[in-house]
Amino acid sequence: MNKAVLEVRDLQKTFGAVTAAQDISVTVPEGAVYSLIGSNGAGKTTFVNMVTGYIKPDSGLINFGNRNIAGMAPRQITRLGIHRSFQIAQLCAELTVEENMLVADAIHGHPGPSFLRRAHNAEARERALATLERFHIAEHRDRLVPELSGGVKKLLDIAMAMAGETQIMMLDEPTSGVAADEKFPIMDLVMDALRSAGVTVIFVEHDMDIVTRYSERVLAFYDGRIIADDAPGEVLSDPEVQRYVTGAPA
């Protein structure tokens, strides 16, 4: 097994009387592909938000790169190499595909008041084009965002999240907003691009076909706890997971 790239220990988070995370402990090996499943409010997004700095845990450790990043700001965590996409694509409608990519590259790699000037240099354009080609959307480089299909928007959003040095990519429902006949082709492109870059992947997903096909290991969340952590077949056949997550008969 590869060495651990992310080690989470005893994460706790409450919002008033609601327990959003309880004793969450996970070890993710370098280069692995993990999926997070669970009903709405089960704790999946809270986990992702704690790892990426959008929520500060009440207690516990999040070890990445031999340091505890729990409670660090999102931008600090992004600079360290943990990137994420969101369920709803975070794109600028007034810009072209290439311009969106250039802005993402500048923000990830060169934050500061002059980042937009650096975004338009030849090296930045070369990096942007290479990333667009990796996700097979370079042909759309001159199109504005409103002209794109849901699948291309999703690919652009993930490509933008890949700007800079990425070690872990966290994807929030990568097939949401994508037509049914596009979901497997889109995921094939995404996973091929991330694997070729040597990126560890953790994705939130409600579609069990996607979970089974693309993840090596599944974490099933319920009521702020992980109730199963194993290979997809083992998790999806677990009686608790069938009762609380998938609704499938035992």
* Tens digits of residue pLDDT in 84-140: 998 877 899 999 999 999 988 887 765 554 555 555 678 888 989 999 999 999 999
pLDDT digits (tens, 9 = 90+) for 18-77: 999 999 999 999 999 999 999 988 999 999 999 999 999 999 999 998 899 999 999 999
Residue 227 has pLDDT above 80, yes or no: yes
- For the entire predicted model, the pTM comes to 0.91
Per-residue model confidence (pLDDT) at position 165:
87
Helix (H, G, I), strand (E, B) or coil at 238: coil
Q: What is the mean pLDDT of residues 137-156?
A: 93
The CATH code belonging to domain 1-72+201-250 is 3.40.50.300
Q: Give the model's pLDDT for residue 32.
A: 97
Antiparallel, parallel or unpaired: β 217-222 and 33-37: parallel
Res 188 pLDDT > 80: yes
Mean pLDDT across 184-212? 94
Strand ranges for the chain from DSSP E: 4-15, 18-29, 33-37, 59-64, 67-68, 82-84, 168-172, 200-204, 217-222, 225-230
How confident is the model at residue 1, as a pLDDT? 63
**How many angstroms separate the CA atoms of 179 and 177, rounded?**
7
Rounded Cα distance, 210 and 141, in Å: 28
> CA-CA distance, 224 to 154, in Å (whole number)?
28
Cα 213 to chain center, whole Å? 17
Domain ranges of the chain: 1-72+201-250
Q: Please state, in angstroms and rounded to a whole number, the distance separating the CA atoms of residues 166 and 84.
A: 10
Note the pLDDT of residue 160.
Answer: 93
Q: Is 89 helix (H, G, I), strand (E, B) or coil?
A: coil
Whether residue 249 has pLDDT greater than 70: no
Mean pLDDT of the chain: 91
Q: Where are the beta strands (DSSP E) in 46-148?
A: 59-64, 67-68, 82-84
Q: How close are the terminal C-alpha atoms of the chain, in Å? A: 31
Nearest to 135 by CA among 86, 94, 186: 186
